[in-house]
Amino acid sequence: MSRQYKLVSCTINGKQAEKMVDVRASLTDMLRDDFRLTSVKKGCEVGECGACNVIIDGECFNSCIYLAIWADGKEILTLEGLAGPDGELSDIQQAFIDETAVQCGFCTPGFIMSAAALLNAGREFTDDEIRRQMSGHLCRCTGYENIFRAVKKTMLRRLGKEKEAEEV
Amino acid sequence: MYVGKSVTRTDAYDKVTGRTRYTDDLCDRGAYTARVLHASIAHGRVVSIDISEAEKIPGVVRIFTCFDVKEKHYFPTAGHPWSTDPEHQDVADRLVLTEEVRFYGDDIAAVVAEDEVSAAQALRAIKTEYEEYSFVLDVQEAVKEGAPQIHKDYPGNILKHTTIRKGNYEEAVKEPGLVRVEGWYETPAVQHCHIENFICYAQMEGERITVTASTQIPHIVRRVVGQALGIDWGRVRVIKPYIGGGFGNKQDVLYEPLCAWLSMKLGGHLVKLNVSREETFVCNRVRHAIRSHIISWVRPDGTYAARKLEAYSDQGAYASHGHSIAAKGAGAFPQLYPCENIEVDAYTVFTNKPVGGAMRGYGIPQAMWAAECHTDEVAARMGMDPVAFRRKNLMPKGYKDPFSKNELYYDSFNQCLDKAMEAIGYERKYKEYQNQTGMIRKGIGVSVFWYNTAVWPISLETSSCRMVLNQDGSVQVQLGETEIGQGADTAFAQMTADALGVLLKDVHVVSCQDTDVTPFGTGAYASRQTYTAGCAIRQTASLLKERILTYARDLTRMPVYNLDIKEGNIVRITDGRILMTLGELSSEALYSMTNSQHLTAESTAQIKSNAYSFGCTIAEVEVDIPMCRVKLLDIVNAHDAGTLINPALAEAQVHGGMSMGIGFGLSERLLFDEKTGRTLNGSLLDYKLSTFMDHPRLKAVFVENPEPTGAFGTKALGEPPVCSVAPAIRNAVYQATGAAVNEAPLNPHNLFLKFSEEGLLPD
């Protein structure tokens, strides 16, 4: 079978990018292999674990079951693009540190990207809604407890509810 | 002082920004990809493998089959310290590729290709012919006469049988007035499900082979790769970067030997072997399924007269950690509720199934399932409150184990029970949930556990540490003990800072182990690292301190006994004056034109003690009887793990263990096809790992009784949090429904069977 390649041009972490990619390649493979964005993790490669999640045009996707060629014309954000230009952390990254929501760290990039997408909605979610929204990710280290705290506290703080955040 | 403070993880920033490099992130893109061909029968012999079509696929470099393994170097895989005594060596029953197939998924050939797609295509194009034998999947069937023989040296498929005898069981049961309580308890095979699958890559440099692997045990991997390839161990270099979880699966040597063998066969070319999630479920390791039979003879006053345990552990196809798991579990039985007359028999039995290995808790979760389900049944039969019954019979303060010399120095069990009961409001809820009727009922249940820290005296306990002073007075610390996500590096940094008298920011723990440069240490298992590495850190820091102060004597003209290091300064003890900073001293020492010295220290601590770690779980559930569903409403774990080095990390560690225990109790199990031996649910979709939606808020509380035998008062916490969770959930369901569900997990399938049997289901 001869290989077919196609030009993908997209924005990755705010920068314009162009690459010839194998039409069968996943977005995970393109981001990891061609752009060396290794925060995009492979835990199952079939959309079960969420370790590869990235934000595409504002919405979070499993990049392992998203073809690289579909990224043409899209804006992609990976964890590497979430911190500021001088390495200053976003609130959700800082919350993951403060709430001890990080252990082995392998699921962390995907979780933070989903949390970032959730927080960008700018509204308050119930506990059940947060759990449902984050349930596309698997983690074996944390029992999800501290991740829950990090997400909920950041959500409340963005809504100016500092006191409620302290009580989470 | 930093010990006892919740300082931020040393690797936290890297992990939230995506900077952390794991094995796959480090591998050069020029690597060949290796994929393993797995057997599609449960038991038999490979007669032939036709690779002619597969070889033609563009991108395929070479295909190796089991028939290419000419030198048969059988090797063990367990992540145990090596023993120079052949009697204590692990069973060497593996080859890098095997002609003899012992389970559906055994490794019979490997494709090396330029890319993953070609490798996958080649796997599908290989044609294999087998001679099939009959197979056996159940331990009780496997020990019967006439059962298929899986390994020729183990008649009856029994890998090992050990016994514990105390007093005289047969005589003791004749005491008049005893109540006999008997039960069978069963836990299934489950998988570790670390989110990073196993991966490694290998290449040669000169005559040596370097293997970079996602492992918990780099120094052990080095030895086993040497054994598997039949080369001197010094020719093997193993590098362990950050890993995405292990939980015991990576406390086994997995595909490092095969990957190294492939590289050597290809002139030392870089070869990467990345295991898929589906292979992780079938071809790595699983938790041993254990079936236990307990008989207790109880006096009317609620004390035990005699007890008997038989445990049958399902080893699967290869020995791996073998009988150690069943032995550890069975060994916990006589001590949990001490009794004068005890008979314990533990059997580990080969079956044609995926291989049982180490998994968080190492036999204790299975043992506590049996022991603590049984305890509630005994309490019920005696008409006693389950907590009161436990308090009456549990290992008391002052208990000493004659073999390990372990001692229970505090009233830990009662303290843990008190804390957990208060945290969840046990007394009120227990009363409220008694004698319910109706189809939706609530219940609350308790389970306790104990767990040994480290492996002494069964096996070697050793930890080596190196500390190197930099020009600026900061220090590099190296240990063979590994960071696998639990936060070990952070605990090591805290302990070093305190032991040496420097600021935490000036301690740089080298996270990566490289067997060429890292001091010898056996790795992450047995919840040993904080305890054992703590000893090596304390000892090495005092050596380095002595060298620093001796050098300071010449610079300050003060006697050593008047000097100390505090917060990175050389301080005169008598008046507290700072004489110089450690950085000034270190720069002087390195660059002195008269007395140049690189101030370093390295030492080995052999640990000939061990420590009991204790705790309990209390779980509250709601049971929907017609739907056969259990909803976990609330749960708390209480632990006495001694002094907490880092309370926030300790709490996080407990959460993770509780989560694994919830899965073990409610949803997880591997299923096998009776007709073929194939694993039926080897994917994250079909295997029911707990998600965000399956947990209530997780509570962790601690009793901090300082452990007298340790360097920093700490003891096991890595594995303990998983040990008592599942039986606590089961006991809550028992209170709610009266149904004694003795087979884990409490999923609708098992509950339906039990509820039907008990007549609980509506017509």
Contact B691 A138 (CB under 8 A): yes
Residue B434, CA distances (Å) to A96, B292, B444 in order? 41, 29, 10
Candidates A51, A100, A131; nearest CB to B648 = A100
| Cα Dmax for chain A | 62
Which portions of chain B are predicted below pLDDT 50? none
Contact: B245, A97; criterion CB under 8 Å? no
User: Residue B683: its pLDDT value, please?
Assistant: 97
> In chain A, which residues have their Cβ closer than 8 Å to the Cβ of B195?
41, 43, 49, 51, 104, 106-107, 138-140
> What are B399-424's pLDDT values in tens digits?
998 888 899 999 999 999 999 999 99
pLDDT for res A1: 52
pTM greater than the 0.90 cutoff = yes
> From the CA of A150, how many Å to the nearest CA of chain B?
12
Min Cα–Cα distance to chain A from B160, Å: 32
Strand blocks (E) in B383-487: 440-453, 462-469, 475-479
The reply to whether residue A107 touches residue B276, judged by beta carbons under 8 angstroms, is no
Listed by number, the residues of chain A in 91-130 with a beta carbon closer than 8 Å to a beta carbon of chain B are: 93-94, 96-97, 100-109, 112
Residue from the list A24, A135, A143 with its beta carbon closest to the beta carbon of B698 = A143
Cβ contacts of B28 on chain A, cutoff 8 Å: none
Tokens for B117, please give them. Answer: 């797609």
Report which of A74, A8, A46, A91 is spatially closest to residue B197, judged by C-alpha positions. A46
Contact B299, B177 (CB under 8 A): yes
Peptide bond into B696 cis (omega under 30): no
CB-based contact B247 A132, cutoff 8 Å: no
Q: Rounded distance, CA A115 to CA A137, Å?
A: 11
Query: B736-762: per-residue pLDDT in tens?
Result: 999 999 999 999 999 999 999 999 998
Q: How many pairs of residues across A and B have Cβ atoms under 8 Å apart?
A: 167
Q: Is B687 helix (H, G, I), strand (E, B) or coil?
A: coil
| Complex ipTM tops 0.90 | yes
Q: What is the pLDDT of residue B403?
A: 86
A51-103 residue pLDDT tens: 999 999 999 999 999 999 999 999 999 999 999 999 999 999 999 999 999 99
Beta strands (DSSP E) in B21-93 are: 32-38, 44-50, 60-65
Compute the residue count for chain B.
763
Across the interface, whether the CB atoms of A143 and B658 are under 8 A apart is answered yes
Q: Provide the angle, in degrees to the nearest 10, between the axes of the packed helices B323-336 and B364-381.
A: 30
Residue A2 reports pLDDT greater than 70? no
Count helices and strands in chain B by DSSP H and E runs: 20, 29
Q: How many Å lie between the alpha carbon of B245 and the closest alpha carbon of chain A?
A: 6
Q: How far is Cα B106 from Cα B39, in angstroms, rounded to an integer?
A: 5
State whether B683 and A142 contact (CB < 8 Å). no
CB contact under 8 A, B485 and A80: no
Rounded Cα distance between B477 and B462, Å, is 17
3-state secondary structure B118-181: HHHHHHHHCEEEEEECCCCCCHHHHCCCCCCCCCCCCHHHEEEEEEEEECCHHHHCCCCCCEEE
Q: Give pLDDT, residue B762.
A: 86
- Write out the DSSP string of A101-131: --SS-SSHHHHHHHHHHHHHT-SPPPHHHHH
- Residues forming beta bridges with residue B166, ordered by sequence position: B342
Distances B20 to A107, B26, B53, B124, B133 between C-alpha atoms, Å: 12, 10, 41, 35, 47
Tell which residue, B606, B618, B608, B759, has the closest CA to residue B700. Answer: B618
A26 touches chain B (CB under 8 A): no
Cis amide bond preceding B457, omega within 30: yes
Q: What angle do CA A78, A79, A81 make, to 5 degrees?
A: 70
Q: What is the dihedral of CA B508, B513, B516, B519, to 10 degrees?
A: 70
Tokens 């005589």 label which residue? B171
Q: Are B411 and B695 in contact (CB under 8 A)?
A: no
Preferred mutation among A140, A142, A154, A168 to probe B, highest tally of B CBs within 10 A: A140
Q: Quick one: pLDDT at residue B272?
A: 98
Q: Are the Cβ atoms of B683 and A46 closer than 8 angstroms?
A: yes
Q: What's the mean pLDDT when you consider all of chain A?
A: 97
Picking from A38, A48, A104, the nearest residue to B25 by CB comes out as A38
The 3-state DSSP composition of chain A as helix, strand, coil percent (nearest 5) reads 40, 15, 45
Q: Contacts of residue B648 in chain A, CB cutoff 8 Å?
A: 100
Separation of alpha carbons B306 and B339, rounded Å: 7
> In whole angstroms, what separates CA B450 from the centre of its chain?
15
Structure tokens at A157: 């703080």
Phi–psi pair at B224, nearest 5 degrees: -70, -35
Chain B contacts of A83, Cβ < 8 Å?
17
